[in-house]
Amino acid sequence: MVKVGLPAQRQEGSESQRELELTCMSNLLSATGERVYFKDLLSRFLLISAGWIAAYAPGRAANDLIGKTDFDVFSDEHASAALRDEQQIIRTGEPIVGKVELETYGGRTDTWVSTTKMPLRDSRGRIIGTFGISRDVTAQIKAENTLTQQALQLRAQNESLSGLDRLKDEFIGLVSHELRTPLASILGYVEILREEGANRPDTERCAEVIERNAQRLLHLVGDLQLLSQIQSGMMAMEFRRADLADIVAHAVEDLRPAANRKHIDLTLSVTAIPVISVDPTRIAQLLANLLSNAVKFTPDGGRVEVRLGTEGGQVVLAVADTGVGIPAADQDQIFERFYRTAIVRRQEIQGTGLGLTITKAIVAAHNGTIAVESGEDRGSTFTVRLPLLRVPPPSIPRS
């Protein structure tokens, strides 16, 4: 063992006292699992503990390492950083306490250690080197990282829950409004009919308004029911061979009166597509949602274009409008339930924020995709792609 002078007060003791201290030191260094080292002014090892050898130079003898430096054990990068610390301690006399460092080794897992490095002084207090002790804190750092990770996840979950909560509150307000408006209209027209009797010349128009509002209510209740089915993963589907071009043409005609009321130019272009297996009711619902949005969010005199065709083994349905558009930041969220952009809320355009959630679920049930291309005041194009799985024609039995 290389001898090192001990502090003054210790030297005042007897020879046997010094021997006892060296024995204690020797026992400590050979028994402790802590990584302890003593180095001279040139950062060459004077003494090292068994724990240090086990951690950094397993299998090597302590004597073999005395006089060597970190450059004989660690990577150049690691050894240079340690040398810089030691030079600083020697220059300033200031210790480095509890520094947490990542130690990287070739072929071994990286380790986090907490290190304290101090100046090594002789009996007169002069700095003659450095010494340090480091402890493996990998498990602690990993536990802390896991905790931080979990805290972040919890915070994200919390934020999304409170966001959902806020949306639900808004939704309850919206639904109440959406229920009250048609109900008030129905009650108003029933009263007119009752007061003025069936002889009134525009009875037919009153009945139409009542019917339209009752349909609106039915539609809303249907959407709510479907949403709860989607949420519980229980949306019922009935696939059968259907002519998509026909379904699209009907959906466009259903929307034409609403488009005409706003002087919107509603056009349809279809290229020949094969009969495919879909749920026709759900597809009609999907079209009604996309088309009614296009008409609803396009100002008077605008254009709505519906295109149906095939592309690369898929049916492609595009609904393009020249309406208010959707800012890029909203485009992912519009498919989330209850979500409505600030633009449409500001303009007080009616809606519940359910249509696109339902549309997306219908597209997914057909193994398809839906995408939107838009920008504020740039109009919007919704594109639905469905796999073009040809349904084989029914086989004719041979006689």
Residue numbers at the binding site for ligand ADP (CB under 6 A):
289, 293-294, 297, 321, 323-326, 334, 339-341, 344, 351-357, 380
Q: Residue 198 CB, nearest distance to ligand ADP (Å)?
A: 36
Contact 260, 390 (CB under 8 A): no
CB of 372 to ligand ADP, least distance (A): 8
Nearer to ligand ADP, 134 or 341 (CB): 341
Q: Considering beta carbons, is residue 266 or 294 the nearer one to ligand ADP?
A: 294
Q: Nearest approach, Cβ of 210 to ligand ADP (angstroms)?
A: 23
Measured from the CB atom, the residue of 45 and 297 that comes closer to ligand ADP is: 297
Q: Of the two residues 51 and 379, which places its CB atom closer to ligand ADP in the complex?
A: 379
Minimum CB separation of residue 225 from ligand ADP in Å reads: 16
Q: String of b and e for 121-157 (b: at least 16 CB within 10 Å)?
A: beeeeebbbbbbbbebbeeebeeeeeeeeeeeeeeee
CB of 226 to ligand ADP, least distance (A): 12
Rounded Cα–Cα distance for residues 213 and 137 (Å): 69
Contacts of 110 (CB under 8 A, 6+ apart): 102, 103, 104
Asked if 353 and 359 count as a contact pair (C-beta separation under 8 A), the reply is no
CA separation for the pair 69, 263 (Å, rounded): 86
| 370 closest CA partner among 317, 330, 313 | 317
Q: How far is the CB of 356 from ligand ADP (least distance, A)?
A: 3
Closer residue to ligand ADP in complex, CB, 89/326: 326
Q: How far is the CB of 386 from ligand ADP (least distance, A)?
A: 19
Q: 315 φ, ψ to 5°?
A: -85, 135
| CB closer to ligand ADP out of 35 and 337 | 337
| Least distance from ligand ADP to the Cβ atom of residue 289, Å | 6
Neighbouring CB atoms inside 10 A of 396's CB total 6
Smaller CB distance to ligand ADP: residue 41 or 218?
218
| 90: phi then psi, degrees, rounded to nearest 5 | -65, -40
Q: DSSP strand E in 298-360: where?
A: 303-311, 314-321
Nearer to ligand ADP (CB atom), residue 356 or residue 363: 356
Exposure string of 238-262, with b = 16+ CB inside 10 Å and e = fewer, is eeeebebbebbeebbeebeeebeee
Residues in Cβ contact with 230 at an 8 Å cutoff, skipping those fewer than 6 apart: 357, 358, 361
Which residue type sits at 237? M
CB of 230 to ligand ADP, least distance (A): 12
Contact 285, 356 (CB under 8 A): no
Q: Closer to ligand ADP at the Cβ: 210 or 334? A: 334
Q: Which two tokens stand for residue 62?
A: 């302590």
